[in-house]
Structure 1
Amino acid sequence: MILTVTPNPSLDRTYELPGLVRGAVLRAAADRVDPGGKGVNVSRAVAAAGHRTVAVAPLGGPEGALLARLLGEHGIEAAGVEIAGSTRVNITLVEPDGTLTKVNATGPGITAAEAESLLEAVRARSAAADWIACCGSLPRGLPPQWYAELVARSHRAGARIALDTSGRALTAALREHPDVIKPNAQELAEAVGRPLATVGDAVEAAAELRERGAGSVLASLGADGQLLVEASGTYFGSTCVESVRSNVGAGDASLAGFLAAGGAGPAALAAAVAHGAAAVQLPGSVMPTPADIDLPAVVTTSDVPLDRALTEPAP
């Protein structure tokens, strides 16, 4: 079972448009609403792959009630913590060429009592979890150290932690040694304080984060592929995607594939790459099923293309 923690979940509304024109009245060719937030998306991908998952998240207002209902429809147990504020609603506009325009709401503030209730909800369910995936930005009211506290408590309970966050929250959590962290190229560059222009730069940055406390680093390099740096070695994987329909939740699908495949080694990296590639070819934040997965080849340390320039260098 994979337990996910999403401190700032959302309802994700996606509209597919024939074109985006500022100031115009636009009619959507298609629209959908999905339960959202990075950890929620991980749970959705895990459930789509046929595994058990529980989603811990603060839920408030009618939006929170709808989110809980949608999770149940996806076969996910919602361990909701009731909050006074209302769950946020995010908007994604998709153009025919795959261009996305996203409007992400800030979300409700979390009180100290609600924050402690979230930690207690994780503790109550952690014994049954193979992995705990803690994902996303922290909402108003939670300090940057909140993830660090969650990692520390979960480790004391014997759980393995995968962390997907950035900025001060990531820096603080590294001191508590999360088992896996999952930055993208920009977040990786931000964490080490320097630009990344090549795959080799990303490898060096990932190694630095391991020295600072991460057990292993699963780094998404966008269209260039994914990188895994862990105690057993360095691995790189990529695959060809013919067309991108939506990249919403693709990184979350990658993390789900990685954890469901064991959370370590080249086979888990191949699953991560395959899940991410499948997700970008689906509408909105739809998560891939096993029928969508095509496992790519993964190269080991000696063959990692260190000199390859990144398509989108991280600042």
Structure 2
Amino acid sequence: MILTVCPNPSIDTYAWLPSFERGVANRIAKQQEFPGGKGVHVAMALREMGQDTGLLGNWAGHSGQWIKEACKDLGIPCFGPELNGANRKCYTFLSAGSDLNHTELLEPGPAMAEESYEEMLQTFKLNLENASLAVLSGSWPKQSPDTAYSDLIDIAKQQQKKVILDCSGVMLEKALDKGFFGLHLNEHEAKAICQTEDPLEAIQQLSKKVDLVALTRGKEGLFLGYLGKVIHANVTIDKVVSTVGSGDCLTAGIALGVYRGLSVEEIAGYGVAFGAANCLREDLGMLYQSDVERLLTQVKIKELNYV
């Protein structure tokens, strides 16, 4: 099993407006809701590809129950502490021909109490025993300690389990101080940490702390450093419908490739095919196996050399 961790789940809402005018009432013509949060997207992608996964999160209020039920309907068991308040909602507005198009509004979500945090750590420790790999993704609720991810990494090290992390800011900095197996980050996060826009230079720096570095640069694709190789992988798609959750699906592809013991080139191919497949449909943070399988045959792979 691959254990997925989503400390801050959400309900992702697509809202369509025929037009948008400032200072007056604007009516939403249509909206759709999806289970969201970075780790939720990872879990859904893995499950769609037939991989057993369990989802550890912090759940709060009616929105938390809705997210859990939606995940369970997809065959994803959910566990973790119940928090006061409500899980956040994240809105993506679509309005053709206005500056509102693809604008996102993110609610704050619940706060983490000390006893709930301890429950989160213990639940992670218990469920990791039945997993070969853990994927840790996204933000944490308010009042969580800055050491949250590094605390989970300590537990994983005690059990000699691999961890793939996708986060940013001070939590990432503290996690890097510990060192761990795999990291997914984008070009902006890499620049903030490594003070360089050169992906090869960033991978060289980060490889001192982690074994696998997956650095994404939007349309430029994926730069994957692993087992002494740096692979560039990319795939072209005709039309992008939505990019929400594409990075999370890419993380899922990397994780599944590692879990299956694939080559570095194949892991990179999984990553970009998963990420691109998510762009093809309106379902937020979701991919379809048929799209992934088709895209895998179209991925372009190139091995790069450090200068």
TM-fit CA distance, 1:27: 4.2
Aligned to 2:132: 130
Gaps of 5+ in 2: none
Q: Does 1:255 align with 2:251?
A: yes
Aligned to 2:47: 47
Percent identity over paired residues: 27
Give the alignment partner of residue 202 of structure 1, picking from 184, 199, 202.
199
Amino acid at match of 2:190: L
TM-fit CA distance, 1:25: 3.8
TM-fit CA distance, 1:87: 1.0
**Distance of 1:241 and 1:24 partners within structure 2:** 38
**Distance of 2:38 and 2:63 partners within structure 1:** 17
Q: 1:41 to 1:185 in 2, by over 3 A?
A: same
TM-fit CA distance, 1:20: 3.8
CA contact (8 A) 2:57 2:81 kept: yes
Aligned to 1:153: 155
Q: Pairwise mapping of residues 12-91 of structure 1 onto structure 2 (< 5 A)?
A: 12-91=12-91
TM-fit CA distance, 1:96: 4.7
TM-score, normalised to structure 1, is 0.89
- Matched positions, count: 298
CA contact (8 A) 1:64 1:86 kept: yes
Amino acid at match of 1:248: V
1:43-96 alpha-carbon deviations (Å, 9 max, x no partner): 011111111111100101111111111111121111131112311111111245
TM-fit CA distance, 1:26: 3.7
**Distance of 2:53 and 2:60 partners within structure 1:** 21
Structure 1 runs (4+) deviating above 6 angstroms are none
Amino acid at match of 1:14: Y
Q: Does 1:114 align with 2:87?
A: no
TM-fit CA distance, 1:243: 1.6
Amino acid at match of 2:284: S
1:266-285 alpha-carbon deviations (Å, 9 max, x no partner): 10110110111111121141
CA contact (8 A) 2:248 2:285 kept: no
Gaps of 5+ in 1: 307-315
CA contact (8 A) 1:166 1:191 kept: no
* Greater Cα offset, 13-22 or 61-70: 13-22
TM-fit CA distance, 1:195: 4.7
TM-fit CA distance, 1:24: 4.4
CA contact (8 A) 1:248 1:284 kept: no
* Greater Cα offset, 58-67 or 279-288: 279-288
TM-fit CA distance, 1:22: 3.0
TM-score, normalised to structure 2, is 0.91
CA contact (8 A) 1:49 1:288 kept: no
Aligned to 1:10: 10
1:9-61 alpha-carbon deviations (Å, 9 max, x no partner): 11111113344443344444542111111011100111111111111001011
**Distance of 1:22 and 1:71 partners within structure 2:** 37
CA contact (8 A) 1:43 1:256 kept: yes
1:239-286 alpha-carbon deviations (Å, 9 max, x no partner): 112221111111011111111122661101101101111111211414
Aligned to 1:285: 284
**Distance of 1:131 and 1:280 partners within structure 2:** 26
CA contact (8 A) 1:183 1:220 kept: yes
CA contact (8 A) 2:249 2:285 kept: no
- Residue 282 of structure 1: SS of its match in structure 2? coil
Amino acid at match of 2:173: T
**Distance of 1:115 and 1:240 partners within structure 2:** 42
- Residue 215 of structure 1: SS of its match in structure 2? strand
**Distance of 2:253 and 2:206 partners within structure 1:** 22
Aligned to 1:313: none
CA contact (8 A) 1:94 1:246 kept: no
**Distance of 1:178 and 1:30 partners within structure 2:** 43
- Residue 168 of structure 1: SS of its match in structure 2? helix
Aligned to 2:218: 222
1:100-121 alpha-carbon deviations (Å, 9 max, x no partner): 1111112111011111111111
Q: Does 1:239 align with 2:235?
A: yes
* Greater Cα offset, 49-58 or 29-38: 29-38
Amino acid at match of 1:202: P
**Distance of 2:139 and 2:34 partners within structure 1:** 19
